[in-house]
Amino acid sequence: MSSDFVGMGGALTVCLIALSIVFIALAIMAGVISLVGRLAGDKNGIPEATTSPSAITATVQSSDDEDQEIAAVVMGALSAELSRVDGQVKLAAGQSSSWRLASLQEAVKRGRLK
Amino acid sequence: MNTIIHHLSLLVQMSGVANLTLGNVIMILVSLTLVYLAIFKGFEPLLLLPIGFGAFLANLPLSNVIGPDGLLTLIYSVGVSTEVLPTMMFMVIGALTDFGPLLANPSTFLMGAAAQFGVFAALLIATALGFNLAEAGAIGIIGGADGPTAIFTASKLAPHLLGPIAVAAYTYMSLVPLIQPPIMRLMTTKKERATVMKQLRPVSKRERIIFPIAISIITALLLPQAIALIGTMMLGNIIRESGVTERLSKTLQNEMCNIVTILLAASVGATMEAGNFLSLSTLKIVTLGLVAFSFSTFGGMLLGKLFYILSGGRVNPLIGSAGVSAVPMAARVSQVEGQRANKNNFLLMHAMGPNVAGVLGTAMAAGVLISLLK
């Protein structure tokens, strides 16, 4: 088949044919995989076996609100545990009211805040 | 006395000193530069070190690691000319690759296609520079940034150019963090680079198992010439994802990967003999490799920009450049550039989609070029 393509004109034809085929093939793959994702994705799928550290990082960093909530819960848990030692609960000052609320809720859940 | 002098002169004639040529000296310096870059600069050491040392051994005067009975020539004849080692390397790549990010966002398949733009740009320029079409196709594949595919294609279309093509491909792959960022910054605004993308959905095991089967069927139906590369890659991938062949998966990812890498890289390095390598063609190939890489980055970024516009600013265009298949380096470059614009930007997993799509795209492009030009 190579004899059909000669010189710059042949090169241009090869490029156009090849680039079109690559795009079409990958577009079909994208379509089929999307379909498979819809049919076999969320309904009966077995969850991910492993999650990469970068994915975890991305999850944690994906939303500031989530960050705040997680930090608040951790703080609440820490406060509750610390209260076992010195009998006092110390919640960080300077945070927003919702942050303090989430923190307090966690502490209450752990039964150390009275 | 005459007999002694005769034999001494014969010994001198048979020594390395008497047979050392300027070409040998230059190639020894070139090969040691590759070894230096691998060891001290960390440029793709797993590949450039055996390639460099293979070239070094091949250029020692009267070296018998090459030639009809030479070990490296034999490995090349059995492993590379027959396509066994490059296709085995694809099996290894399949076992090493997590296609999850691509499955979670299948539209990024198209970025893998767009980033093949450099392959075809380099093909056109190579033709204009006087290479025949088969040679131009083999050179263009450097732009796919996939070493095994470049070797596979060159061994089919232009075996005499295999050495410089392999060296150019692997050298530029290691230089992706230097080549891509200026093009990425040139083509985007800071606002675009700072775009934070939505977290990818989790991918089920069922999807991961259907994927290699579906891709193999589609490839066989559309482009059977690419099934040697993509089919073996999918074999490696299903071994990885099935969850019931952990031993095989580990063997592919470790022992097999290492064995194939050593044999492939050292035997390809041995093709860089002074007589083959020291020519104007090599210089052109090295230059065209850079052109191919740059155009591939440009093509990927262009589609990334289009995605950014069509999605209403929800897709970060930087992930487009990861469509060149240097895995995972190109994805890391997207991550670094994204984070430079916005500290809370985590693009790595998003960029892995186009990145692994690029591997498929390059294999597809190779299949098309081989079927059209061989």
* DSSP letters spanning B264-278: HHHHHHTT--HHHHS
Query: Quick one: pLDDT band at residue A51, thresholds 50, 70, 90?
Result: very low
Of B114, B127, B243, the CB nearest to A11: B127
Nearest partner of B59 among B170, B168, B171, B163, judged by Cα:
B163
Query: Is residue B321 assigned to a domain?
Result: yes
CA distance B358 to B334: 14
B65 phi, psi to nearest 5 deg: -85, -15
Q: Supply the ipTM of this predicted assembly.
A: 0.85
Residue B133 binned pLDDT confidence (cut-offs 50, 70, 90): very high
Whether residue B309 lies inside any domain: the answer is: yes
The alpha carbon of residue A33 is apart from the nearest alpha carbon of chain B, in Å, by: 6
A7 within 8 A of B126, measured Cβ to Cβ = no
- The single-letter code of the amino acid at B129 is L
Q: Which domain holds residue B238?
A: 87-160+175-267+277-373
Question: Tens digits of per-residue pLDDT, B250-306?
Answer: 999 999 999 999 999 999 899 888 888 889 999 999 999 999 999 999 999 999 999
How many domains, chain B?
Answer: 1
B101 preceded by a cis bond (ω within 30 of 0): no
How far is Cα B77 from Cα B72, in angstroms, rounded to an integer?
Answer: 9
Q: Which of A59-63, A81-85, B52-56, B175-179 has the highest mean pLDDT?
A: B52-56
Quick one: what percent of chain B has pLDDT higher than 90? 75
B127·A30 Cβ contact <8 A? no
CB-CB under 8 Å, A31 with B133: no
With CA atoms as reference, report the closest residue to B180 among B340, B51, B33, B367: B340
Q: Does residue B53 contact residue B265 with C-beta atoms inside 8 Å? A: no
Rounded CA separation B102/A39 (Å): 16
Q: Are B95 and B249 in contact (CB under 8 A)?
A: yes
Top-confidence residue, A104 or B16: B16
Query: Torsion angle, CA of B88/B89/B91/B92, rounded to 10 degrees?
Result: 130
Q: How many whole angstroms from its chain centre is CA B144?
A: 7
In this predicted structure, which of A105-114, B35-44, B74-83 has the lowest mean pLDDT?
A105-114
Structure tokens of B19? Answer: 């047979």
What whole-number distance in Å separates Cα of residue A20 and Cα of residue B310? 21
**B81 lies in a domain?**
no
Inter-chain CB proximity A12 and B207 less than 8 Å: no
Paired tokens of B349: 């997993």
State the average pLDDT over residues B78-92.
Answer: 92
Q: Determine contact, residues B171/A11, Cβ cutoff 8 Å.
A: no
* Chain centroid offset of residue B133 CA: 20
- Note the pLDDT tens digit of each residue in B174-219: 889 889 999 999 999 999 999 999 988 889 999 999 999 999 999 9
Residue B234 has pLDDT above 90, yes or no: yes
A30 min Cα distance to partner chain B (Å): 5
* Alpha carbons within 13 A on the beta-carbon side of B67: 10
Cβ–Cβ gap A2/B373 under 8 Å = yes
Residue B25 located in a structural domain: no
pLDDT score for A75: 67
Contact B210 A55 (CB under 8 A): no
B374 and B154 Cβ atoms separated by less than 8 Å? no
Query: Which strand (E) or helix (H) includes residue B330?
Result: helix B329-341
Whether pLDDT at A55 is above 50: no
Assess contact for B268 and B153: CB atoms under 8 A.
Answer: no
Interface touch A29/B218, C-beta < 8 Å: yes
Examine residue B137 and state whether it is found in any structural domain, yes or no: yes
Residue B122 to residues B116, B125, B139, B295: CA-CA distances in angstroms? 10, 5, 7, 8
Q: Is residue B256 part of a domain?
A: yes
Tell me which of A106 and B291 has the higher pLDDT. B291
Contact B320, B114 (CB under 8 A): yes
Cα–Cα distance measured from residue B290 to residue B34, given in angstroms and rounded to the nearest whole number: 17
Tell whether B151 is covered by a domain: yes
Residue type, B247: R
CA pseudo-torsion sign B27, B30, B34, B35: positive
Confidence tier at A48 by pLDDT (50, 70, 90): very low
* Contacts with A59 from chain B: Cβ below 8 Å: 199
Confidence band for B13, pLDDT divided at 50, 70 and 90: confident
- Give which of A4, A12, A14, A34 to mutate to test B binding, by max B Cβ within 10 Å: A14
Q: What is the DSSP letter of A95?
A: S
* Chain B neighbors of A37, CB-CB under 8 A: 103-104, 106, 203, 207
Whether the CB of A20 is below 8 Å from some CB of chain B: the reply is no
Quick one: average pLDDT of A66-78? 67
Task: List the Cα angle B87/B92/B98 in 5-degree steps.
Answer: 125
- Does some domain include residue B258? yes
* Integer Cα distance of B165 and B172 in angstroms: 11
- On whether any CB of chain B is under 8 Å from the CB of A46, the answer is yes
CB B33 within 8 A of CB B43: no
